[in-house]
Amino acid sequence: MFHWKCKLLAKRKKCFRNFSVVGRKCFNCKYLVEQKEHQYPQFLNPVEDADAFFERFEQFEEWVNALSTRRVHCEGTIQSVKPDMIFRYDQNKKHLRLRGFLVSFNEGFIDNRYFTDRFYLHLSSELQNRLLLREADEIEFDANLKIVKGRFEFIKAGRFEFMMRGKSKPIKKSDALVALNTYTVQKNQPSKCLGCKFGLLTDIQNKYTGNQRELICLKGVADYRECAVSILDSSEDNRDFCANDQYCNHAL
Q: 0.75 exceeded by the pTM?
A: no
Q: How confident is the model at residue 103 (pLDDT cuts 50, 70, 90)?
A: very high
pLDDT, the chain, mean: 84
pLDDT of residue 64: 95
What whole-number distance in Å separates Cα of residue 133 and Cα of residue 79?
Answer: 11
Fold of 71-164: OB fold (Dihydrolipoamide Acetyltransferase, E2P) (2.40.50)
Which range is least confidently modeled, 16-25, 43-52, 220-229?
Answer: 43-52
Indicate the pLDDT class of residue 245, thresholds 50, 70 and 90.
very low
In this prediction, residues 30-49 reach a mean pLDDT of 75
- The per-residue DSSP string of 3-29 comes to EEEEHHHHTTPPPTT--SS--GGGTT-
Residue with more model confidence, 68 or 251: 68
Nearest CA to 219 out of 190, 187, 178 is that of 178
Answer yes or no: is pLDDT of 86 > 60.
yes
Residue range 163-192: mean pLDDT, rounded: 90
Task: Single out the residue of 181, 206, 184, 201 nearest to residue 92, CA to CA.
Answer: 206
Query: pLDDT tier at 230 (50, 70, 90 boundaries)?
Result: low
Q: How far apart are CA 30 and CA 10, in angstroms?
A: 14
The residue ranges of every structural domain in the chain are 2-36, 71-164, 183-241
Instruction: Tell me: pLDDT of 211 over 90.
Output: no
Strands (E), 68-150: 72-90, 93-110, 113-115, 119-123, 138-148
What is the pLDDT at residue 163? 96
Report whether pLDDT(222) > 80: yes
Return d(Cα 185, Cα 100) in angstroms, integer.
Answer: 20
Q: How confident is the model at residue 28 (pLDDT cuts 50, 70, 90)?
A: confident
Residues 169/173/175/179 CA torsion (nearest 10 deg) = 140
pLDDT digit string, tens, across residues 116-152:
999 999 999 999 999 999 999 999 999 999 998 889 9
Contacts of 19 (CB under 8 A, 6+ apart): 6, 25, 26
Rounded to an integer, what distance in angstroms lies between the CA atom of residue 224 and that of residue 25? 56
- Run of H or E residues at 193: helix 191-195
Going by pLDDT thresholds of 50, 70 and 90, the confidence category of residue 243 is very low
Q: Is pLDDT of 105 > 50?
A: yes
**Band (63; pLDDT cuts 50, 70, 90):** very high
